Amino acid sequence: MDSTIAQLPYVLAAFAKTLSALPYQLSNTTASLPSLLNTLSTDLTPLLPTIAAAEEDALLSNATWLAENIGALSALTAQIPQNSVQHASKESLIAMIQTGTTTYNVTTLWSPDLGALVMMFALVIVTKLALISLLTGKSISRVRAHAVEQGKTGITRDVARLILQKPLRSAIGHTVNLVAGTVVLGLQLASYRLFIIPYAPIRFVDIKMFSLGMKILQASYAADLLFGDLNPEIFLHHLFTAALLQVGQVCVFKTGSPLFFTMANMLILQATTEQSTYLAMALFHSASALKLQNHLPHRQRSLIKASWAVLTFTKFITFPQKIVPAVLCLTVLGRMWNDIDGSAYGRWWLGWSTIFISILLLLQVKFCDDVFPICNYVHYRLYPDAYSHPPSRTGPVMRFLSSLMPGAARRRERVREAHRLRAASAASAASSAPITIKVVRSAPSEESMASRYDEEKRLDMEHAHPFDQYHAASSGSLPTLSYANTAYGSASSSLSDKNKNGDDSRVTAVTSKRSSVSDE
């Protein structure tokens, strides 16, 4: 090594002579190089022993580190399944070793992941601020005023606040899931190499991005459990998903198999591609919040229309969007049976994940089936007169399974009888009123219905008491025909004759009443 470094001045001198022997045109260009090289050679001569010693120290340090850690590296690579090692490229093997040496932030309970805590607190703060900004004094006052119009007295400000909180919490929760799912989907696409293991070399940055995506998804699930309705299916789904991802993230460092990230990527595709459902439900609950306030009726109808359009699209994609990732996930799990079955952690992980994924698959079928009755119910909210009775809240799959159970015929007959009684009761109530005006929202336009309302109002006012005319004139413009405030109640007028003689008959009482009926 010393002889190699000692030859450096001679190499520089030979290079200077070569430059001097170049043709005239080139020698003019490189005229200063020989002198500079001679100066460099002169300056390097006293430094050569120091450079040689530093190089020896570096080589000895590297050799010592390898000698001390070769056992740990060998043990770490021995933990990686042989199938993964044989099919892994150099880059993938380095990423596996890096992953196996970073168990501190994941498995150490007394040193929690600071990033996950900060993310959770930030999500809760944003959600709370959004809820506070929507629960204004004016909105609460509108809820109380609308309740009084419906004859519900005794609604305090705190009760009105609680009533308005429910749809707002649901709308905010679905919006948070929409944003979080889109962000996690972007992280999944950025770490696409994890989808095609072992056909593409993975990088440690891919694993880091996907781990961040799992934390974001679980934080949004936690917020959904806090702010959403108490639904057993949703609770079980979020619980099993969190348990599967958390335990799997620990087991991947114990087994060394990178296939966990492929399986988890397939699994959470069910949540990160559900933007249409989240959007539709956020729009629907926003319309419900406006309806409780009897506020912005045209916007209510627009939100309901948009929700129905998105749900109609979701009906066609919901089963492929849920079932295909689950099938791919089970396929990767089948590969893992041959890959990590040799270790105790591997056997325990395979049994754990098989049970949980099977339960999640059944829940996903139920969620897909629920999209159909939800879509029908939103359409019923939009066009109630298009239905003879409220639509069923059971999806086609559950109806089929229910038809296979004993007593299905009796249950169907009871439902039909309930519909008949409801229709008879509605017909009896309609026939008891002197005048019944039925509005079919889906057939006439809003302009024709509004003009009809104005004409009937004018005719009523012509026969009303002068005080009633003044009161109606001083109350401003007539109510706007809309989704949330479009109803013609029963307009009744009673004419009683005090004098039976034809010329002396007088109208002693004229009553005209309209009530706003909210759609539900």
Residue 453 contacts residue 488 (beta carbons within 8 Å): yes
- Here the tokens at position 138 are 């004016």
Whole-angstrom CA distances from 368 to 258, 299, 311, 353, 397 are 30, 28, 11, 22, 9
Name the residue with tokens 């933990």.
Answer: 79
> Per-domain residue ranges for the chain?
2-79, 98-367, 438-520
Name the residue with tokens 């043709």.
Answer: 23
The type of residue at 138 is K
- Here the tokens at position 412 are 């169907």
pLDDT of residue 224: 79
Reference 275, options 236, 241, 313; nearest CA is 313
- Here the tokens at position 197 are 């293991």
Q: At what angle do helices 297-339 and 275-293 cross, to 10 degrees?
A: 150
**Number of helices (H), then strands (E), in the chain:** 21, 0
298/484 Cα distance (integer angstroms):
8
pLDDT tens per residue across span 117-158 = 777 788 888 888 999 999 999 999 999 999 999 888 888 999
The type of residue at 63 is A
CA 35 to chain centre: 70
HEC secondary structure over 310-371 = HHHHHHHHHHHHHHHHHHHHHHHHHHHHHHCCCCHHHHHHHHHHHHHHHHHHHHHHHHHHHH
Q: What's the DSSP call for residue 434?
A: S
Whole-angstrom CA distances from 479 to 122, 143, 485 are 43, 18, 8
- Here the tokens at position 148 are 């009084």
Residue 231 contacts residue 370 (beta carbons within 8 Å): no
69/76 Cα distance (integer angstroms):
11
Q: Please, what's the largest Cα pairwise distance for the chain?
A: 142
pLDDT of residue 481: 31
Residue 353 contacts residue 248 (beta carbons within 8 Å): yes
pLDDT of residue 464: 43
Reference 106, options 208, 249, 270; nearest CA is 249
Angle value at C-alpha 447, between 441 and 448, nearest 5 degrees: 70
- Here the tokens at position 214 are 């799992």
pLDDT of residue 134: 93
Reference 374, options 292, 308, 433, 440; nearest CA is 308
Q: What's the DSSP call for residue 392?
A: P
Name the residue with tokens 């940055």.
Answer: 205
- How does pLDDT run along the chain (520 residues), one tens digit per residue? 555 666 667 766 776 676 666 665 555 555 666 676 677 667 667 766 666 666 666 665 665 655 556 666 666 666 666 666 666 776 776 776 666 666 544 444 444 466 667 777 888 888 889 999 999 999 999 999 999 998 888 889 999 999 999 999 999 989 999 999 999 999 999 988 888 876 777 787 888 888 888 888 888 888 778 777 778 888 888 888 888 887 777 777 777 777 888 888 888 998 899 999 999 999 999 999 999 999 999 999 999 999 999 999 999 999 999 999 988 888 888 888 777 656 677 778 788 888 888 899 899 999 999 999 999 999 999 998 888 888 888 899 988 888 888 877 777 778 777 777 777 777 777 676 555 444 444 444 545 555 554 555 454 444 444 434 333 333 333 333 333 333 333 333 333 333 333 444 333 333 333 333 333 3
Whole-angstrom CA distances from 214 to 176, 185, 269 are 15, 10, 11
**Which residues lie closer than 8 Å to 255 by C-beta, 6 or more apart?**
79, 81, 340, 343, 345, 346, 349
For the chain, state the CA radius of gyration.
Answer: 38
